[in-house]
Amino acid sequence: MPATKLRRQIAWEAARLMYSREVSEYYTAKQKAARRLYRGWVKPADLPSNAEIREQVQLLTRLSEDAAGAPARLCEMRLRAAWWLRKLSPFHPKLIGSVLKGSIREGSDIDIHVFTANVHSITILLDDLGVGYELQRKRIQKDGQQRVFTHLHVRDSFPVELTVYAPALLGFRFRCSITGKPIARAGLNELERLIAIEHEVDANDQSGRLAEMDARPDRMNVFLSLLMPLENVKQNLRWHPEGDALFHSLQVYGLAKDAMPYDEEFLLAALLHDVGKAIDPEDHVAAGLEALDGFISDRTAWLIAHHMDVHKLRDHSIGARHRRRLVSHPYYEDLLDLGECDRKGRVPGADVDQPEEALDYIEQIEDMFS
């Protein structure tokens, strides 16, 4: 194959890998693209330059902006970014990236630079807000030097990535890794003006919508707060040889994911069916439904409400009238599937996802299967 065509193909595949955020470094993208396209060894001279990959990334961005950058979604992401800039104000936050530029795509997150000498001062704030996050430190070779970048990946209604810098860098002009040019960034006042101009949401409306966000907890964080106490709920080993209620719930979720990977309502029913056990062991179904009220659909609530009935169906201890009502319900087959997952999710030492991983997957279902 001619070297020019080879370079173009590798450049396009490397750009796609970087654009989808599968990788973040040029060298890794080139190597992975070359291995994916050509099983044999590719000479270093045939690999594309960083500039060639940047051109392809910019092309991918232009192609996707109209499709993925829906105005309503962009407005919601910018409003949520403004909410975060307010919360992070002690750390001089600056919004950067696709949300600021208006070029969001599937998987885009809210990118914010924050400035502090102690990353734990930010994690304390995140803990107070009750949001889940992951602290990540990445060692990268840049400009001939080894540098360590600290990131906080925050789970929110939209994913948020906080990059932590020392206060001395507050006035530094960062450059885009794709274009090599100084990146655009905005503080809270600039972002609010942008929202007013481009989305016609005036200052009063913005304040009202941000106040609503203060009053409305993110439902995934609500789910996580209900799941984690299950780790301390020990169960009768006769019926639950696997151990605590959280481990059981994660097994049931895993089986449900294998059966219906696209069905958010069913997966939530599987994951959350026992959350009431940490609230009121005497009536865990009613307690769980009360805690989840307003955060789950009617279908999810019905499945949780009746998941214990499946055991009665199996041992024929359910009344005839109650059985007829269940059998005639449109969600009856789903209930049987949930019951089967519940019955099988009792294996000691089984491999399970972490609660955060399960919730991340459920939150992304709409994007994955749309």
**Per-residue pLDDT tens for 166-223?**
999 888 888 876 667 888 999 999 999 999 999 999 999 999 999 888 876 778 888 9
The single-letter DSSP state of residue 26 is H
130: left (phi over 0), alpha (psi -120 to 50) or beta: left
CA distances from 49 to 4, 12, 43, 176, 199 (A): 12, 12, 13, 16, 39
Q: Which residue has the tokens 């992304």?
A: 364
Q: pLDDT 10s per residue in the chain (370 long)? A: 566 777 888 888 888 887 766 777 788 888 888 887 776 667 777 788 888 888 887 777 666 554 444 678 889 999 999 999 999 999 999 999 889 988 887 668 899 999 999 999 999 998 888 787 889 988 776 666 777 789 999 888 788 999 999 999 888 888 876 667 888 999 999 999 999 999 999 999 999 999 888 876 778 888 988 999 999 988 878 878 888 999 999 999 999 999 999 999 999 999 999 999 999 999 999 999 999 988 899 999 999 999 999 988 888 888 999 999 999 999 999 999 999 999 999 999 899 999 989 998 998 886 665 4
Q: Is 164 exposed, middle or buried (0-12, 13-18, 19+ CB in 10 A)?
A: buried
Chain centre distance of CA 258: 20
Q: By percentage, how much of the chain surpasses pLDDT 90?
A: 48
Q: How far apart are CA 79 and CA 161, in angstroms?
A: 16
Q: How far apart are CA 136 and CA 151, in angstroms?
A: 5
